[in-house]
Chains A and B, each alone.
Chain A
Amino acid sequence: MNRAGEPGDEADRLRRLERRLQRERTARRTAEQIAESRTRDLYEANRDLDQQIMERTAELDRALVAATRASETKSAFLAEMSHQLKTPLNGLIGMLELVDLDTVDDCNSERLTVAVHSARRLERLISRLIVYSDLDGADLTRSPRHRSVVDVVSDLHDRWSGDCLQVGQLLSVEEIMEADIVVAHPPLDLALDEVMSNVVNHAGRGAVRIQTRLVQAERTDEVAPHDVVLRILDPGPGLPAESTVEVDCLAPGDPTRTADRPAGLGLALIDAAVRALGGNWGPVIEGYQNGVAIRLRAAVPAESA
């Protein structure tokens, strides 16, 4: 098949080489044209992309401004509502307290005490309702205000040990961790207070233990590789298991955690506060002692990070 290269066929050799050279030249020229037109396409595509990114960024900015405004409007509305509800209520409580108990008979005095008590409960209920609607759906994980777990727990102990004693409960703190593990934000105190209020009112006599422990986070997050689990165990019957989810099954931030919403304002408040902090919570059932566990991300304090 290959006849070229035979002796004496120098002219054919040259002709072939010339043709190959010509082919290479043409091919190179075509390749350059294609490359040039692709580069232009790429340049234009990049420009379009830049334009799109700019438009999207502006869109996002607008959405953010709208969301911030909506949130501010909601807060302003809540503050206004709180004021409007509390003003007549405070007037009512004030007036009831001004009634001189000596001037009313025993029967009416008892009614008066019940009325004051009910008004105070109503006042507390309104405050909690307002806090709840403020927290519900909020995301406080972006603006964390860190505190040491040790401080959170010891403050909790200070706030509640007296009330516990009055109902025959001995409040103790166990398994305190190193001081530099920090979590939290004011709503954590609120959630813990709700738990404690429940314990004091319903758990009955016996030991109440606050436990803290550090667990490995399930997510692959280098910034916050640990979670803090706070448990409050009491001698009571515990929460109905179906009202919440098992805390150890869920990692904080798990999107499935919106599945169950506990009934009752107290539980709803705990739920909203813990969710706002990016954590989750659930019942602990341990036979002779039951209670609640709250799981949150542990952060390293800024100065040692």
Chain B
Amino acid sequence: MKGVLFNVVQEVVEETYGEDTWDDLLDDAGLEGAYTALGDYPDHELVALVAAASLRTGLGPDAVLRTVGRLALPRLLDRLPPTVPLADEPMAFVRSVNDIIHPEVLKLYPASHPPVFDCKDDGDGLMVRYRSTRRLPDLAHGLLEAVDDHFEQSVSVERIADDDEANAVFLVRVGEA
């Protein structure tokens, strides 16, 4: 996993719980934690951090990842160059993750492997299928939920199918909190 994701998680933890908490999480997980945005680090380091946070907070790992995702989106968006065109409405934005944002990420962070999001109109909503060998659908869930805050519009994200962790389906709707 790219270091930028660890940087963002660190920012989220430090800003929400303080710098010491980040130190403690690293200690608990037995990690050095010297993350550099362009560096590559094993996925299990993220899993270990989430497990440590889960132990300390009493929340399940899925809830921890969802919360991290929710808080991470604005920080990830800040890291995109201003030349990347951003959609100005929630549904278009969700589509653009797969069509614009992650393709740009591939150029910005060589050798990165962002997940695939297949989007399909579904009546009044958007069916979003997450596919990734990293198996982090809860992170995706949280990031999708953050679209709500980003546009200050109520957006609901419901996980409707759970084939397995590498292949989850969300139904995203605007106007339903």
Contact = CB atoms under 8 A, between A and B. Distances in A.
A24 B23 CA distance: 13
Interface in B1-44: 17-21, 23-24, 32-39
Given A30-B39, A34-B39, A2 B32 contact: no
Contact of A31 (B20, B38, B56): B38
A20 interface: yes
B20 A30 contact: no
Contacts of A31: 36-39
27 contacts: A1-B17, A1-B21, A1-B24, A1-B56, A2-B17, A2-B18, A2-B21, A2-B24, A4-B23, A4-B24, A16-B20, A19-B23, A23-B32, A24-B34, A25-B34, A26-B32, A26-B34, A27-B36, A30-B36, A30-B39, A31-B36, A31-B37, A31-B38, A31-B39, A34-B38, A34-B39, A38-B38
Contacts of B37: 31
Nearest to A35: B38
A20 B39 contact: no
Given A2-B18, A31-B36, 14 more contacts: A1-B21, A2-B20, A4-B20, A5-B20, A16-B20, A20-B19, A20-B23, A22-B34, A23-B34, A24-B34, A27-B36, A28-B36, A34-B36, A34-B39
Contacts of B19: 16, 20
A16 B22 CA distance: 10
A179 B18 CA distance: 79
Nearest to A37: B38
Contacts of A22: 34
Given A1-B56, A2-B17, A2-B18, A27 B23 contact: no
Contacts of A34: 36, 38-39
Nearest to A23: B34
Nearest to B56: A1
Contacts of B38: 31, 34, 38
Contacts of A26: 32, 34
A27 B24 contact: no
A14 B103 CA distance: 43
Q: Name the interface size band of chain B.
A: 10 to 19
Nearest to B57: A1
Nearest to A16: B23
Tell me the interface secondary structure of chain A in the complex: helix
B158 to A, nearest CB: 31
A85 to B, nearest CB: 63
B170 to A, nearest CB: 31
A28 B36 CA distance: 7
B68 to A, nearest CB: 16
Nearest to A31: B36
Contacts of A2: 17-18, 20-21, 24
A22 to B, nearest CB: 8
A16 B24 CA distance: 9
Interface string A231-275: 000000000000000000000000000000000000000000000
A5 to B, nearest CB: 7
Contacts of A16: 19-20, 23
Residue among A1, A5, A24, A25 with max Cβ neighbours from chain B (10 Å): A1
Closest 5 CB pairs of A and B: A26-B34, A4-B20, A27-B34, A31-B36, A30-B36
A51 B23 CA distance: 50
A10 to B, nearest CB: 14
Nearest to A12: B20
Contacts of B34: 22-27, 30
A38 B35 CA distance: 17
Contacts of B32: 23, 26
Contacts of A5: 20
B172 to A, nearest CB: 33
Interface string B126-156: 0000000000000000000000000000000
Interface in B23-74: 23-24, 32-39, 56-57
A44 to B, nearest CB: 14
B157 to A, nearest CB: 28
A283 to B, nearest CB: 46
Residue among B34, B38, B39, B56 with max Cβ neighbours from chain A (10 Å): B34
Residue among A5, A16, A38 with max Cβ neighbours from chain B (10 Å): A16
